[in-house]
Amino acid sequence: MRSQVPRGSPDRRYAARVSRLREYLFVRHRHNWLLLVRFGLVGASGVVVNLATLILVKRLGTDPDHAIIGLPWSDYNLRWYHAYSTVAFLVANLWNFQLNRTWTFRSERHPAWWREYWPFLTVGLLGQVAGLLLLTLLMHPHSPLALPTDLLDDTTGLRTRLYWAQLLVIAVVTPLSFVLNKLWTFAAVRTRHSELADPVHTEAVLHGSMADSVGEADADLGEPTDTQATEPAAH
């Protein structure tokens, strides 16, 4: 005969906590996990676009380590790898936005394209600024975080420091971009989805729409509505 676990026992309480945690993570937040997976897939394609653009502009341009202009009141310079990284970011940002708009958050029927793109671009630019700082730390020879030049000696594509530094920057900046875009850029779409998922809100909307439709139909047929039928006749 199978023994039953008494109520209030540690094993039963532990099982209840695990069950609640599982429901919280995988039932209540299932939609958020789906969004994260889609955002990750779009981001993965954006990484390819980013690196392809970076490789192209690097081959068309000059040495990435050459200085473009000195930064005022500092010993640092704006270098070509900063410019290459920014161009790659702008192309990948536009690519990611369009895919996130039409697939991840499905917002093509809501705000206008430019109205939604500017917050997305702003979030991306904030991430790019942080990314450029990290890129500098990875590329600067005297930085404690500098990538090793003995291994990454730029002799082949796989041993190019700039490419690996850019990959690390993307890995660090992407989670921040996801959170900010979900909370701000696509907030209107997220709110709309939440309202449609609320049965009380949906029922109220449907009831209001049906009432409006019935009222319009009665007016077209010349029949009095409930309000008109109950009004006393004027003497």
Q: What is the pLDDT of residues 48-58, one digit of tens each?
A: 999 999 999 99
Residue 11: inside a domain: no
Please say whether the beta carbons of 99 and 120 come within 8 A.
no
Total structural domains within the chain: 1
Give CA–CA dist 219/214, Å, rounded.
9
Residue 223: inside a domain: no
78: phi then psi, degrees, rounded to nearest 5: -80, 120
Please say whether the beta carbons of 172 and 131 come within 8 A.
yes
Q: What is the mean pLDDT of the chain?
A: 77
Instruction: List CB contacts of 139: < 8 A, sequence separation 6 or more.
Output: 64, 65, 79, 81, 146, 147, 161, 162, 165
Residue 42: inside a domain: yes
Tell me the Ramachandran region of residue 214: left when phi exceeds 0, alpha when psi lies from -120 to 50, beta otherwise.
alpha
Q: What is the pTM of this model?
A: 0.65
Interior angle at CA 223, CA 217 and CA 227, nearest 5: 95
- Kind of pairing between the strands at 77-79 and 67-70: antiparallel
How confident is the model at residue 180, as a pLDDT?
A: 80
Residue 115: Cβ within 10 Å count: 10
Domain of residue 143, residue span: 37-196
Residue 81: inside a domain: yes
Residue 131: inside a domain: yes
The answer to whether residue 168 scores a pLDDT higher than 80 is yes
Buried b (16+ CB within 10 A) or exposed e, 127-161: bbeebbeebbbbbeeeeeebbeeeebeeeeeeebb
**Two structure tokens written together for 17:** 């906590």
Residue 226: inside a domain: no
User: What band does 235 get if pLDDT is binned at 50, 70 and 90?
Assistant: very low
Pick the range with the lowest mean pLDDT from 31-35, 48-52, 77-81, 221-225: 221-225
Give CA–CA dist 157/164, Å, rounded.
10
User: What band does 213 get if pLDDT is binned at 50, 70 and 90?
Assistant: very low
Residue 230: inside a domain: no
**Rg for the chain, CA atoms, rounded:** 28
Residue 117: inside a domain: yes
